[in-house]
With several copies, the nearest count.
Chain A
Amino acid sequence: MAQIEQEYQGNVILELKEVSKTFPQVEKNSDPRRHGVLDRLNLRVREGEFVTIVGTSGCGKSTLLNIIAGLDAPDSGSISAKRDNKNTGKAERVVIFQEGALFPWLTVTDNVEFGLKIAGIPKELRKEIASNFIEMVSLTRFAGSYVYQLSGGMKQRVAIARALALDPQILLMDEPFAALDVQTREILHEQLLQIHKSTGKTILFVTHNINEAVQLGDRIILLSPHTRGIKREIVIDYPKPHDIDSPEISAIRRELLNELQEDFKFAKSHP
């Protein structure tokens, strides 16, 4: 455990400077106001880093991910990402959306192949990649099913397979395992760490599960509705997966819980 240094070490792949974001708060029968979510947020992510992001519900985690993905424009501030030349033609920063964004007109296989098709990967190779990832998430039997035929957790696994199949430089995961049972989740944790290690991907991983956050992250970022930005960063310098029962990790866990508790109280008192 170490407080984050001012000059962050390593090869910076992603840098957010003074990023702010507000949303119009359109309400029935009332003037539109604006609702600030992120306020001058700064963030640098090192190449190959596994950053987990926690925060109370509605604090702006998904918003941040969308901004990093380039799907939403910030009101002000800048985002710069280092381009990887190897990765031409393919999507660079791929999001696993919090809410199923699977295409209902495609089968599981076709969903997983989608990004590859767009990138112009030949059919044979596409098929192979897709079936590997579908197997990884244990859905081989449902490869030909359509989206409405899947259970909640199955959909989430398809979304994971779809993103991983694209082999992006930066993987943005928004509560990807929220609907999964413990076993599946553990397996996928292992596999994700494995992929992270072998490919050196940069991963930003949103979760509301503190255990998950401390187990997986090289660094944990706590977003807060209070500060409208990063309230706390904790770097965990231990080999992974971090043992949740070790005293060091436990301490971090407790610390985070306290911080969250504070935010939560703040939110309660500022309805």
Chain B
Amino acid sequence: MQKAILEARKQEYRPDTTDIANVVLFLAAFVGIWQLVSNIGIFPSVLMPTPAKVIETIARLVTDSSMTVGIGVTMWRLLAGFAMAVGIGGAVGLTMVKFQGFGKTMSSFAVGLLTFPSIAWVPFSILLIGFNDFGILFVVIMASVFSVMTSTYGSIRNVPPIYIRAAKNMGASGFALLRYVMIPAATPSLIMGIRQAWSFAWHALIGAEILITTLYGLGHVLHVGREFNDMSQIIAVMIAIFAIGLLVDRLVFMRLEEKVRARWGLNQHNE
């Protein structure tokens, strides 16, 4: 029985190590295949640079600080825009829950508006806000706010009614009901929605950084790569985007998710 406990302990801690091993394995396999394809030379090397070439490019971009500054600027814009989108989208989403008629109408509208590509928002952004950082923020917000809205609305509406009834019965209403019941009850689903909204914000931001040029940001570096047909620079930026995505997911979304899942006992799936 001692053994069993020890083993169970081990199992609890297992994920962290195997998990990192998995990630590394995946990446190694990917780079391996890439190197192989480069070696065989099915694709012209201008379009498919070798890993070494890309690393060199990354080094260059870091040295001339366009990558580092780019990441900094882009992250700042992303966080600012996303925070606002979460604030606004969340608030409207909650209002939609509160007022059913508005909710139903707005919910389809949001899907319609969510399908607007960022390129469609850019002209309005330039017109209404201007050709500057705030214009970029506007595009980011417009592209992700409807995603936040739909997930907030949908997630809360999917909360089992019994929780809401119980809370109301215990005197919760208005803000307290929202804060202490609707939102926590919707959290497992909200995390999924927020992940998607985050990606919408990214897409829009890169698009906006290309169209509203401010000379800084990953979108700009990507754009320059494309303009100069420098494939290794494009790949370098993609790697940066991917790495940021992975890190943010690991450090924020996944942590949050694991915590919530543990509380809810959803990890029983694993057994």
Q: Which of A95-125 contact B (CB under 8 A)?
A: 95, 97, 99, 101, 103-106, 114-115, 117-119
Given contacts A26-B262, A105-B187, A148-B268, contact A97 B166 (CB under 8 A): yes
Of the candidates B8, B176, B265, the one whose C-beta lies within 8 Å of that of A34 is B8
B169 at the interface (CB under 8 A from A): yes
Q: Across the interface, do B271 and A101 meet the contact criterion of CB distance under 8 Å?
A: no
Which chain B residue has the least Cβ–Cβ distance from A76? Answer: B4
Report the Cα distance A101→B161, complex, angstroms: 10
The listed residue with most A CB atoms (<10 A of its CB), out of B167, B185, B271, is B167
Given contacts A71-B165, A104-B263, A105-B264, contact A76 B1 (CB under 8 A): yes
Given contacts A39-B1, A40-B1, contact A105 B271 (CB under 8 A): no
Report the Cα distance A103→B181, complex, angstroms: 8
Q: Across the interface, do B262 and A20 meet the contact criterion of CB distance under 8 Å?
A: no
B260 at the interface (CB under 8 A from A): yes
Of the candidates A34, A99, A118, the one whose C-beta lies within 8 Å of that of B162 is A99
Q: Across the interface, do B265 and A146 meet the contact criterion of CB distance under 8 Å?
A: yes
Q: Across the interface, do A75 and B171 meet the contact criterion of CB distance under 8 Å?
A: no
Q: Across the interface, do A118 and B265 meet the contact criterion of CB distance under 8 Å?
A: no
Q: Across the interface, do A104 and B265 meet the contact criterion of CB distance under 8 Å?
A: yes
Report the Cα distance A73→B166, complex, angstroms: 15
Q: Across the interface, do A76 and B180 meet the contact criterion of CB distance under 8 Å?
A: no
Give the Cβ gap from A133 to chain B, nearest Cβ, in Å: 14
B184 at the interface (CB under 8 A from A): yes
B14 at the interface (CB under 8 A from A): no
B3 at the interface (CB under 8 A from A): yes
Which of A3-11, A86-94, A262-270 contacts its partner?
A: A86-94
B226 at the interface (CB under 8 A from A): no
B120 at the interface (CB under 8 A from A): no
The interface residues of chain B lying within 8 Å CB-to-CB of A58 are none
Q: Which of B215-267 contact A (CB under 8 A)?
A: 260, 262-265
Give the Cβ gap from B8 to chain A, nearest Cβ, in Å: 6
Report the Cα distance A22→B6, complex, angstroms: 11
A143 at the interface (CB under 8 A from B): no
Q: Across the interface, do B8 and A118 meet the contact criterion of CB distance under 8 Å?
A: no
B12 at the interface (CB under 8 A from A): yes
Report the Cα distance A99→B181, complex, angstroms: 18
Given contacts A75-B4, A148-B268, contact A105 B172 (CB under 8 A): no
Q: Across the interface, do B170 and A22 meet the contact criterion of CB distance under 8 Å?
A: no
Of the candidates B1, B12, B166, B184, the one whose C-beta lies within 8 Å of that of A20 is B1
Given contacts A39-B1, A101-B162, contact A114 B167 (CB under 8 A): yes
Q: Which of B168-201 contact A (CB under 8 A)?
A: 168-172, 176, 180-181, 184-185, 187
Report the Cα distance A99→B271, complex, angstroms: 20
Report the Cα distance A39→B3, complex, angstroms: 14
Q: Across the interface, do A118 and B264 meet the contact criterion of CB distance under 8 Å?
A: no
Report the Cα distance A149→B8, complex, angstroms: 17
B134 at the interface (CB under 8 A from A): no
Give the Cβ gap from A173 to chain B, nearest Cβ, in Å: 12
The interface residues of chain B lying within 8 Å CB-to-CB of A99 are 162
B52 at the interface (CB under 8 A from A): no
A69 at the interface (CB under 8 A from B): yes
Given contacts A76-B4, A105-B184, contact A97 B265 (CB under 8 A): no
Report the Cα distance A93→B168, complex, angstroms: 11
Interface 0/1 of B40-78, CB less than 8 Å to A: 000000000000000000000000000000000000000
The interface residues of chain B lying within 8 Å CB-to-CB of A239 are none
Report the Cα distance A72→B169, complex, angstroms: 11
B5 at the interface (CB under 8 A from A): yes
- 9 more CB-based (< 8 A) A-B contacts, given A26-B262, A115-B170: A22-B5, A32-B12, A70-B169, A71-B168, A101-B162, A103-B167, A105-B187, A149-B265, A166-B171
> Can you list 25 A-B contacts with CB-CB less than 8 angstroms, sorted by A residue number?
A20-B1, A20-B4, A22-B5, A24-B8, A70-B169, A75-B4, A75-B7, A91-B169, A94-B170, A99-B162, A103-B181, A103-B184, A103-B185, A104-B265, A105-B263, A105-B264, A114-B167, A114-B170, A118-B167, A118-B171, A119-B171, A146-B263, A148-B268, A162-B170, A166-B170
The 5 closest A-B pairs by CB, nearest first: A148-B265, A75-B4, A91-B171, A101-B166, A115-B170
